[in-house]
A = this chain, B = another copy of it.
Amino acid sequence: MVISLKLDSDTPLYEQLRNQIVIGIATGKLLPQEKLPTVRQLAEDLGINTMTVNKAYALLKQEGYIVIDRRHGAKVNWQPADLTDSTEHTAKLEQKLELIIAEAVIHGIDNEHFHKLCEQTYEKMNDYH
């Protein structure tokens, strides 16, 4: 899986890394139980500090996306049961949607157009059900 970071982005490196791994999991580029690179390895590959990778991994662990095992490093968790549709997640999602859709509406994107964009994205995702 290819990860590319933008050094000049507003989004911190550790968050970009976290985001790309989340997308990697959802699109099936990273499979459940798949081993992630070690902190050291990934830091070297990306040309960034181990602490930065560490922070991304710690965040992903805290969010339940990965599992960290002292023996074998980090693995993709995604056992749907763990995370399925928590009300907390849905609440956050609704808030993000409100803003995104507000921006879209102002730019003339109507419900149908928006729905089409969503469907395109959904098609890139794996179907784990």
A98 to B108, CA, bound (A): 20
Q: Which residues of B contact A96 (CB under 8 A)?
A: 100
Copies of this protein in the assembly total: 4
Residue of B nearest to A48 (CB): B71
Known: A97-B100, A118-B111. A70 touches B13 (CB 8 A): yes
Q: Once bound together, how far apart are the Cα atoms of A78 and B118, in whole Å?
A: 25
Given A83-B108, A110-B129, do A99 and B8 touch, yes or no (CB 8 Å)?
Answer: no
Query: A46 an interface residue at 8 Å Cβ cutoff?
Result: no
User: Is the CB–CB distance between B99 and A104 below 8 Å?
Assistant: no
A40 within 8 A of B: no
16 extra A-B contacts, CB within 8 A, seeds A22-B106, A83-B106, A90-B109: A7-B71, A8-B68, A19-B99, A23-B98, A25-B106, A85-B108, A85-B109, A94-B117, A97-B100, A97-B117, A97-B121, A101-B118, A102-B125, A110-B122, A111-B119, A115-B118
